[in-house]
């Protein structure tokens, strides 16, 4: 929690200075928080309010998520979710994605950035799929030398050492705002 984090009942401003805004109440003396959240003191409007945190960002079924591959297993990959439907999230939720049905030697490698779609939640695990054209690897590097790769039909080729490799590429491969955001 940051220093602007509040709990219900916390004093956030004096009513002489600020009016009670969203998620706050006025106890006759102080403006107090009525919810957990982040304190916002608007100096222009003189309104004190609490920004309620977005519910811990657990992706829902059908959401598109983007993040780095954190583990590659024989029939699945684990991905740490950085974006849900294009919005950044800091909750660091992970999901797993079965790669069993994809006929490629390498679907995605550790640290590749992939786009997945959430399929279901089972026993506390979030399952996603990679099996649609826009899903798959958005950003990757050469496995041999770490060089920049370019797509070549279904494969990728390193511009440095010419190593050719497979990935399940997204149709947005190397063509994503997300990559520009990271730079
Ligand atoms: Zn290379």
Q: What confidence tens digit (pLDDT) does each residue in 94-138 have?
A: 999 999 988 888 899 999 999 999 999 987 899 999 999 999 999
Cα separation of 27 and 165, whole Å?
65
Q: Which residues have their alpha-adjacent CB atom under 5 A from ion ligand 1?
A: 142, 144-145, 147, 158, 160-161, 163
Locate 163 and state its tokens.
Answer: 């190593």
**Alpha-carbon Rg for the chain in angstroms:** 22
Cα separation of 151 and 167, whole Å?
10
CA of 83 to the centre of ligand 1 (A): 28
CB neighbours of residue 14 within 10 Å: 11
Q: Tell me which CATH code domain 64-137+172-182 carries.
A: 2.40.50.140
CA of 141 to the centre of ligand 1 (A): 8
Can you give the residue ranges of every domain in the chain? 5-51, 64-137+172-182
According to CATH, the topology of domain 5-51 is OB fold (Dihydrolipoamide Acetyltransferase, E2P) (2.40.50)
Model pTM score? 0.67
CA of 159 to the centre of ligand 1 (A): 7
- Could you give the 3-state DSSP secondary structure of residue 92? coil
CA of 166 to the centre of ligand 1 (A): 13
Q: Work out whether strand 30-33 and strand 47-51 pair parallel, antiparallel, or are unpaired.
A: unpaired
CB–CB of 108/77 below 8 Å? yes
| pLDDT tens by residue, the chain, 183 residues | 455 777 778 899 999 999 999 889 999 999 998 877 789 999 999 999 988 765 557 899 999 999 999 999 989 999 999 889 888 887 778 999 999 988 888 899 999 999 999 999 987 899 999 999 999 999 999 999 999 999 987 799 999 999 999 999 999 897 756 544 443
Q: Compute φ and ψ for 148, nearest 5 degrees.
A: -75, 140
CB–CB of 50/39 below 8 Å? yes
CA of 116 to the centre of ligand 1 (A): 26
Place of tokens 């996603």: 128
CA of 96 to the centre of ligand 1 (A): 28
CA of 7 to the centre of ligand 1 (A): 52
Q: Compute φ and ψ for 177, nearest 5 degrees.
A: -60, -30
CA of 145 to the centre of ligand 1 (A): 4
């Amino acid at each position: 929690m940051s220093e602007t984090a509040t709990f219900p009942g916390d004093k956030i401003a004096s009513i002489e200075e600020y009016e009670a805004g969203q998620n706050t109440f006025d106890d006759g003396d102080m403006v107090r928080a009525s919810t957990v959240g982040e304190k916002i003191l608007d100096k222009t409007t003189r309104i004190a309010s609490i920004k309620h945190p977005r519910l811990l960002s657990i992706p829902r079924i059908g959401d598109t998520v983007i993040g780095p591959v954190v583990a590659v297993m024989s029939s699945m990959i684990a991905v740490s979710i950085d974006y849900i439907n294009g919005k950044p999230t800091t909750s660091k939720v992970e999901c797993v994605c079965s790669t069993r049905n994809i006929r490629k030697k390498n679907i995605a490698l550790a640290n590749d950035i992939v786009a997945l779609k959430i399929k279901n939640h089972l026993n506390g695990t979030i399952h996603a799929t990679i099996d649609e054209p826009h899903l798959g690897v958005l950003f990757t590097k050469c496995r041999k030398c770490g060089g920049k790769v370019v797509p070549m039909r279904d494969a990728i080729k390193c511009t440095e050492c010419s190593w050719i490799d497979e990935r399940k590429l997204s149709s947005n491969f190397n063509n994503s705002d997300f990559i520009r955001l990271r730079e």
